[in-house]
Structures are given as structure tokens and as C-alpha cells.
Structure 1
Amino acid sequence: MTAEIADGAQQFMRAFSDPEFVARYTDGPRRFVPGLDGLHRMTAVLLAERAPKHAKVLVLGAGGGLELNALAEAHPSWTFVGVDPAPQMLQLAERTLGARMNRVELIEGTIDHAPAGPFDAATCLLTLHFLAAPERLRTVRAVHDRLRPEAPFVVAHSCLPKERVERSLWLDRYAAYAVASGTDPEQARTMRATVDASVNMLSPDEDEAVLRDGGFRNARPFFAALTWHGWIGHA
């Protein structure tokens, strides 16, 4: 991560290096992200619209391996390059993938460490909200540069409105969903406060503008679930 990434993202990065956090990570996203399994299935469907049968897919923010495993299961002829800055999370991805690791190359680092491609498709799920706006735009442009013309790019992450009252309402809903999904209320309150104070949240309109400015001029939304939003664009 570069110096432009805010302190809140650095705090999250330290958590991704905590063995106890990593050990319980697999269940965490499903408690905070409504429809996570459906998001993975939709991603597989959307990428397949233009990706060839033997596609090579770039997965940015691949730590944990949840989306890698879902995509590899859905498309047995695809191969993948997964990139993530947290080595412990990459180790978890390797365990999650099991026998499917024979179609996956895992790389420790950021987009700068990814091969030049060209790739047939790319994803970045539950990741871009860690990056400050300038770094987010730079990352999107770097993904675009690694894709074949017309290759699909699917992103999904958390967004929040700028207006204070509206933002607070959506943060309350974020925490309430986590509690309804089995998260300890105190942990949900802590996560709410951390997201509010530390993560570089943009509004949905701002995030869509980042994709357009990064070269994906036809980016369109396909997913919205409380604070979480997803888009598909083409290089």
C-alpha cells in the first residue's frame, strides 16, 4: 500500500496480519455483506458474458480466497492471478482453494505487483473502499491497462452518502444487519465506528465516476445491498 492510503486502511491491514483475525475471517464477510454468495455468483455470470472459455482472470484483493474459490468452481477452465498485500490472507486463500490452487497464482502485493497481462477479465471485491480517492483511481487505471479491449471488470465495495444524517442512517443499518446475522453487538458497534472514522468511503456516484475516469466509461451498477454497491465496466 502507498502513503496515500489513510490510517484507517492501515488499521485494517494490520488486522489482516493478525492470526486470530485471519482464522475467523471466512465467516466474517457473510455477516457484514448482504448477499455475498449471490454477489460471487453474479460476478461469475457477468465475467462470462465476454470472457473466453479459457479465460485468464485477475483478482485484486484476493486474500481469503472466497471469490477466487467461487469463480474457480463456476468456471473450471479459467485460470487466475490473485493479488493481495497480506501474506496471511494469501495463505488462507490457498487453504480455501484446496485442489483448485492448480489454476491459481497468488502474488503478495498491490496492483503494481500484478503481471502486465493482458487479462481476459478482472474483479476487485470488498477492497477498493480501503483506498483513498487518488490511489483508488490509480488502481482502477492500472487494472484497465492490464485488460484486453472490451474485457469485463467487476467491482463491489462499501459506499456511503456524504450528508451526515443520511450517512449515519446507513451506518446504523450496516451494524444492524451484522447483528441480525449473528455478530456480537459490541463488535458490530466497533466496526460501525471504525468504518465511519477510518475508511475512505465515497458516495456511489463518486465511485462510479472513479471507474469512468479510470477508463471504464460504460460502467453500470448491478448490485446494491445496504452500504454495498457493485458495478461492471469494460476496458
Structure 2
Amino acid sequence: MGNPFQWEHDKAMQYNETIRKRILNYASIFEVMQDIVVTDCREVHSVAIIGAGGGQELSTLIDVLPKACYFAIDPSEKMLELAKYRLIQEGKEADIQYIVKPFHEVEVDAVDLITCHLVLHFLQTDDEKRQLIQAISKRLKVGGTLFLSSINGKIGRADFEQQLDVWRVGMLRKGVTEKEWEKFRASIGEQLVPITDEEVVALLQQYGLSLLYHYEKTHVITASYYVKIR
């Protein structure tokens, strides 16, 4: 599976700076997730983070779930090193097990909470997406919480293309160059393969995960709050 952002390259170390220029609602995805955890998720003892590289989820959740046990999972060792470095810089500590593997290959006991942010669209086939959702369901307790965000939409549909045009303007305003935007835009449909909001919800429902609500949506990125019901 290709990756336009080259997480194993040295540029991965710039990830936490560049991601905010590309994902315009990046901060809100995690801030609102934290607010939901504080409000609704009172008995969380174990957390699995899919795509934990960079450390954003760890940094966000440790503040409100300091006593939880964390499984920080990412196929990139370099990105997990960045997560460790970030927590050291921020002076944050927790019970964290770092695992360098794709999530569907990880064997852990069922956990109370799983996060899967900005990962699903990197899986290029329906079978890969289904494999990930099936793995999430298998590793989440009944009654457990899933936070999921991804680029969602139908490539070629007028509303999707219109939102991409607006996204371009926002990225340029944040300092992304026109060349960088063009490279990113070309990756959609190649390295980044979205499906619609409705398709995501239906796929998760097949594996016992029920949508509570979409809590953040900017342009074609949707962040959602699910519970496992069976």
C-alpha cells in the first residue's frame, strides 16, 4: 500500500507540524473527542490507538485518562518514536505498550476504547477496510467506544469536488504550496481512497458498531463516535 506522506522518511519527524496545515479541523477532531471522553466515557481502563504515530491521541487522552493502559499501534517504528519523543517533551507519562504492526495483526485482550483517526482512507480496497473494521470489533468490548475519523465522500461527485476546492484554499492559507496541494490532490483516488459517510456507517454496523453521532465535519473529513452493541 502506497503512502504519499512517506512516514518512514525523515520527513515523518515534521509530521506534527505539517498535519495541521493539511487537515484544517485537526485540532477539533481531538479536542471534541476529549470532551466526549470526559462526559461519557467514565470507566475506561484500556485504550488501543490505531495509527498512534505522532502521539496526538496519546497526548490528548492521557490528560483525561491518566490511569488507563494504552496500546499504541502503528506499522511505522519511526512514527512511534516520534510519539515517544512528543510525550517526553510534554512531560506526560502513562502505562503505554508500543506495538510496531498493522492493527489487524495485533493480538490484545478486548479494550474499552479504540481510536482510529485518519487511517481508513489509506486502505485502498473494500476488503482492507473491512479487515480493519472487523479487527476493531474483535478487539473492542461490548459497550466500548470507538472514535473514527477519515476522508469520506464519493470521488467525482459534485459536492465532493466542491469541498476539495474549498479545502485547497484553506491549505494554501495555512502555508501549503500549490505544488504540495497538487500532489495531495493527485493522491486522492490513488493512495487515499475514501468511501461515503453512509458506507462507513453501514460497514461498521455489520460488525456490531452503532453510530451515536458525527461530532466533527469539515470539508470531506468526518469524525464520528460509535459504541459496540454486540
Does the 8 Å CA contact 2:112/2:145 hold for their aligned counterparts? yes
Structure 2 spans left out of the alignment, 5+ residues: none
Does the 8 Å CA contact 2:147/2:225 hold for their aligned counterparts? yes
Secondary structure of the residue that 1:233 maps to in structure 2? strand
How far 1:174 sits from its partner (Å)? 2.3
Distance, in Å, in 1 between the alignment partners of 2:190 and 2:223 is 22
Q: Deviations over 1:137-194 (max 9, x none)?
A: 2211211111221011010111122444333222222222111112122211211111
Does the 8 Å CA contact 1:137/1:214 hold for their aligned counterparts? no
The match for 2:17 is 27
Secondary structure of the residue that 1:149 maps to in structure 2? strand
Distance, in Å, in 2 between the alignment partners of 1:83 and 1:51 is 23
Distance, in Å, in 2 between the alignment partners of 1:33 and 1:11 is 16
Where do 1:30-49 residues align within 5 Å?
30-48=20-38, 49=40
With over 3 angstroms needed to count, the CA separation of the structure-2 counterparts of 1:12 and 1:106, relative to structure 1, is farther
Q: Which amino acid aligns with 1:91?
A: E
Question: C-alpha root-mean-square deviation of aligned residues, in Å?
Answer: 1.9
Distance, in Å, in 2 between the alignment partners of 1:43 and 1:115 is 25
How far 1:83 sits from its partner (Å)? 0.5
Q: Deviations over 1:46-105 (max 9, x none)?
A: 3341341x5211100111111211111233222311111111111111111114354221
Q: Deviations over 1:13-48 (max 9, x none)?
A: 7x01101x2121111221122232221122123334
* Residue 11 (1) aligns with residue 25 (2): no
Range 122-131 or range 208-217, more displaced? 208-217
TM-score in terms of structure 2 length? 0.89
Whichever structure has more helix as a proportion of its residues is: 1
* Residue 118 (1) aligns with residue 110 (2): yes
TM-score in terms of structure 1 length? 0.87
* Residue 231 (1) aligns with residue 209 (2): no
Structure 1 spans left out of the alignment, 5+ residues: 1-8
Instruction: Give the fraction of aligned pairs with identical amino acids, expressed as a percent.
Output: 19
Does the 8 Å CA contact 2:28/2:216 hold for their aligned counterparts? no
